[in-house]
Structure 1
Amino acid sequence: MQYEGVLTKMQTEAGSPIQYYLVFENSFLNMNQLLGRDLEINFQGFKCLNCGKNKKIYRMGFCYDCFYKIPQAGDWIMRPELSTAHLGIADRDLEFEKKAQLQPHIVYLASSSDMKVGVTRKSQVPTRWIDQGASQAIPIIEVPNRYLAGITEVALKDHFSDKINWKKMLVNHVPPIDLVSKRNKIKELLPDEVKEYFDTTPEHLYTLEYPVLQYPAKISSLNLTKTPAYGGKLMGIKGQYLIFEDGTVFNVRSNEGFEVIITVQ
């Protein structure tokens, strides 16, 4: 069977294991059902997720012009401490930014490769952790806007990494970490503006199970612009990566805006 469309990040459903769905305009695939089967991925071209034009994708599924124009790609997305909607100050589109920034946010600890600190909207729990391939995660504080979450992350980055070693995550070299113990020692590291939220945030440890038949010993990343046609047996899904039997991994999210044909053998 063949499926054709523009890649967007896989949709997920919490469970044991997590369920993954690749959604196109007129069809979708439950990727869990394809484990152990041969897939072919053929690159057809680009389609910007904003303007819809056949223009080379720059970042986040957007062409260069859209990336530097639309509010969905503002600097505050990757650097939440730059959020200004709480001050009534626009970056690119104040109404959009109010909706995105002026809602509850979680600052968390997660174990993906090593321990990391991060920020997510409360509405994206546990989706954000699934997309990062976290084995476990625990909220540190829940705050009412993105700016407060951002300054908290900045303060904690002096003590914890905010990066993921994606190769360690995909080969499942994840050391055991007591996130509950680490979380409960953090209060004194928090900025004064957010300390009041620490004691009101539930201490809840999330454990995540991924649909993986076999982890690779070594990995190589599939780049569709260099290798426009690839085929292999799907052995697992973790984060936003498809893991194949030969050690090839494919990051669906980093290929948003790519038009593909996927053939299931």
Structure 2
Amino acid sequence: MGMTPGEARRRFRAGERVPTAGWCPGWTQANLLAVPRDRAYDVLLFAQRNPQACPVLDVGEPGAVRTEIFDGDLRTDLPAYVVYEHGAAVAEVTDATGFWREDLVAFLFGCSFTFEDALIRAGVPVRHIEAGTNVPMYRTSVPCVPAGALSGPLVVSMRPVPASLVATAVRVTSRYPMVHGAPVHVGEPREIGVSDLTMPDFGDPVEVRPGEIPLFWACGVTPQAAVLAGGVEFAIGHAPGHMAITDARDSRFLVP
């Protein structure tokens, strides 16, 4: 979708709900998690201890609905949100204004959608973009390092890659460490506790064709899984795959 972040955000503010994979190539996408101020240190510590799953791109002031890299309204300018209370998802909405609190601190974590344009330019197919669906995401058996009230499993996204292009996919994505970087696992899903690729915990299943190998990247839904597992009293996150499209160029997070 060749549009600016501002144009995309206006469409989401008007009510368009769609996964954002393939939107605004060249611009950084981010995972949102907003928690009460007294839980913000737990989130920062959790991110520091689990940096590949939770690379912090930006943090807002308490109550702020904009950040340095997001010149929109975090309450309205994502396609969809999930609201959590006491470790349970209680609502999924396209406008979080009615739930937003003055004490909320918004965190923006890197998202692997950011490096998909680089994968495509390198000749690596991205199946969920080809299919027009959401990326498949899975809870794994790999535990995160807990911090305060936050604990839980690593969540991963999966992209099937032809065997001949696995090295290319690893090389390309390793240059984007702030949007999850290289895969955390290549190959057999059961080795990380994923028993059935056709049944993702979030998103949509995609076809894995003969000669393709599933590659798994750390996913920014991980802190939301930690909110659930830790019974955090209140939080707002993006609906998985429905990201914040920021005003930062993806080249900002590219390393040589």
TM-score by length of 2: 0.24
TM-score by length of 1: 0.23
